[in-house]
Amino acid sequence: MGEYARRLLSALAAALALGQPALAFAQPLWPGTVVDVSAAGEVMLPKVGVDGEGRAIAVWHEYFAPGQGRIMSARRTSSGWSPPRIVASPGTPSAPELTVDPQGYATVAWAVYSPPTSPLQVSRYSPVTDTWNLPVTLATVGYAPRVAADAEGNVLAVWIGPSGLEASRYTAATGAWGPPVAAGPPGGVPSLAVNAAGDAVVLWSAEGELVLRCFVASENAWFNIPPLKPIDVRDRGSHRPGRQRRGGMDALLRESAGR
């Protein structure tokens, strides 16, 4: 196996096996009673994220009438939940996707349904200023966004574009999003995992196969991973009878790739 293949498989295993340490709170995170943090409209499609200090951010789609929807948010600190605030009022947003980094910076992404286009937009929250910035349009047409942050606050966004999977990366050091790049062939809704170093794996279905692409942060580049072969977990003897698989996820990926 070549060095690139080993690195890709290692990044995939790390991303899929990524765990989060237990969080210690000065007081219970959830009070004994239900707290309504929503505003006046109908709440739909909520998401929540927690930073390294246990502070939570919730975002949701608030619906009033056809063509009258907006992205809302609320934040919980040791003082309790903040009043709801408007992140954006795009009219017909999709379900928001949220990621929160360990320092408390958050990114929310959504698509705006406005045929014949469907802009893919993002907004960033700063715990320093306690504000959301104005939405940034990453693509003029995009659907089903996914976002994930690494330990340094860099954020990777992927979505379905007109010609396939597209991606853009926010770099914390510069405070800017990179231009969209082609990340893979067209297919179903993607699933995204990012490890602490910023390496990422995207998994989605295309033409009846599971497609894997790996982003290596140090290379700032995307690489192919051979499709995983289906494994019937009910058939214990179908893989190397009499031998126990060793090496965890890395061994499974090497076997699936036929290496």
Q: Give residue 39's pLDDT band: very low, low, confident or very high (50, 70, 90).
A: low
Q: Give residue 89's pLDDT band: very low, low, confident or very high (50, 70, 90).
A: confident
Residues 6+ apart with CB under 8 A from 58: 37, 46, 47, 48, 73, 74, 75, 76
**Within-domain flag for 64:** yes
Question: What percent of the chain has a predicted confidence (pLDDT) above 70?
Answer: 72
**Within-domain flag for 229:** yes
CATH number for the domain including 103? 2.120.10.10
166, 157 Cβ separation under 8 angstroms: no
Domain that holds residue 59: 38-186
- Residue 145 and residue 244 share a domain: no
**Within-domain flag for 202:** yes
**Pairwise pLDDT comparison (45 vs 48), residue with the higher score:** 48
> Which of 153, 186, 219 is the last residue before a domain boundary?
186
Please state the pTM of the whole predicted model: 0.76
Give residue for tokens 């914390």.
Answer: 172
**Within-domain flag for 23:** no
CA distance 83 to 73: 9
> Which of 186, 209, 228 is the last residue before a domain boundary?
186
| Helix 248-256 / helix 3-16 crossing angle, nearest 10 deg | 130
Whether residue 247 has pLDDT greater than 80? no
240, 251 Cβ separation under 8 angstroms: no
Burial (0-12, 13-18, 19+ Cβ within 10 Å), 233: exposed
Between 6-20, 35-49, 131-145, 146-160, the lowest mean confidence (pLDDT) is in: 6-20
